[in-house]
């Protein structure tokens, strides 16, 4: 069954505030001299999506965490998942959490301009090209598209894209407030939605960066809870190949549990995702722009 995708229609030019890592012309499958985690052509990205194996990561959910996350969904219709972008396993974790809680509604920190592209893709059409696919920060990966397609075929799927165009000069907190408004508009309290964003945006209280998405949501949905993915080590792709500070170990399960009142999902080892990324010019500032991060 085709998925339903929410997001603002439109086609704004790409105006990211961070320059992407340059890609050598003609080198469609390699963005880094030491690894091959990103692609620069639509055909290569199609192949990466087709080749991604959607599998069960073996998520173990402890009873206390199951109850706490379930209360968040039951009371306010939302559950937050904070990730580090660019990890291959992230979409598999998303899928496992959705299955653990019987969810069919997923909100992603993706540009809402992509809504018609994703809607058509979930209806069975080839993924169409769009400037916002190629940002390279790791929010969009081959695995995400493969998991969305698999979930859409399995049954009803609602997809909400809640990043969008922001006003020139907006602060980090203003961008998060705008994302919260889009998410709340797309996910009524009874919808039971898993909302996934970078882990700087998911805390339910203010941080050193400002007032994050999670805190904005908590004003309207006070019982909302955040699950924070804790990466044991490994690598991720965020404009370039990056490494987690911890030492990677394949030992231990992928586990969701409560730790001193916080919901934590342990992922023992992370690997780089295949990320669509193209070289992008830096146009002059305009009245509206998009803040990345």
CA torsion sign, 46 to 50 to 52 to 55? positive
Q: Is 19 within the bounds of a domain?
A: no
Q: Is 252 within the bounds of a domain?
A: yes
* The model's pTM: 0.85
| Domain range enclosing 197 | 31-280
Res. 12: pLDDT tops 90 = no
What is the rounded average pLDDT for all residues in the chain? Answer: 86
Q: What is the pLDDT of residue 2?
A: 53
Higher local confidence (pLDDT), 1 or 223 = 223
Q: What is the pLDDT of residue 210?
A: 97
Res. 237: pLDDT tops 90 = yes
Please count the structural domains in the chain: 1
Q: Is 26 within the bounds of a domain?
A: no
CATH number at residue 66: 3.40.50
Q: Is 175 within the bounds of a domain?
A: yes
* Rounded Cα–Cα distance for residues 165 and 173 (Å): 14
Q: Is 7 within the bounds of a domain?
A: no
pLDDT by residue (tens digit) across 190-204? 899 999 999 999 999
Q: Is 199 within the bounds of a domain?
A: yes
For 121, what's the count of Cα atoms within 13 Å in the CB-facing half-sphere?
23
- pLDDT band, residue 5 (cuts 50/70/90): confident
- Show the tokens assigned to 278: 């193209």
pLDDT by residue (tens digit) across 76-101? 999 999 999 999 999 999 999 999 99
Q: Is 194 within the bounds of a domain?
A: yes
Q: Is 14 within the bounds of a domain?
A: no
Q: What is the pLDDT of residue 95?
A: 98
């Amino acid at each position: 069954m085709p998925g339903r995708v929410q997001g603002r229609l439109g086609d704004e030019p790409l105006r990211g505030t961070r320059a992407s890592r340059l890609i050598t012309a003609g080198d469609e499958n390699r963005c880094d001299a030491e690894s091959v985690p990103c692609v620069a052509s639509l055909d290569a990205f199609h192949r990466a999506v087709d080749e991604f194996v959607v599998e069960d990561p073996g998520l173990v959910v402890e009873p206390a965490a199951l109850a706490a996350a379930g209360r968040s969904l039951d009371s306010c219709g939302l559950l937050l998942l904070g990730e580090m972008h660019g990890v291959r396993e992230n979409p598999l974790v998303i899928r496992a959490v959705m299955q653990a809680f019987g969810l069919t509604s997923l909100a992603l920190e993706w540009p809402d301009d992509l809504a018609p592209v994703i809607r058509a893709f979930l209806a069975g059409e080839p993924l169409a090209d769009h400037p916002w696919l190629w940002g390279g920060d790791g929010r969009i990966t081959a695995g995400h598209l493969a998991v969305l397609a698999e979930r859409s075929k399995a049954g009803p799927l609602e997809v909400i894209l809640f990043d969008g165009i922001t006003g020139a000069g907006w602060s980090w907190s203003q961008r998060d407030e705008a994302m919260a408004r889009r998410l709340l508009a797309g996910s009524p309290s009874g919808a039971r939605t898993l909302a996934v964003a970078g882990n700087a945006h998911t805390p339910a209280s203010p941080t050193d960066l400002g007032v994050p998405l999670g805190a904005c949501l908590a004003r309207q949905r006070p019982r909302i809870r955040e699950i924070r993915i804790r990466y044991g080590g490994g690598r991720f792709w965020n404009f370039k190949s990056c490494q987690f500070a911890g030492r990677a170990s394949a030992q231990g399960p992928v586990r969701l549990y409560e730790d001193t009142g916080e919901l934590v999902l342990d992922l023992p080892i992370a690997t780089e995702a295949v990320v669509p990324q193209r070289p992008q010019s830096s146009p002059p500032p305009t009245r509206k722009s998009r803040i990345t991060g």
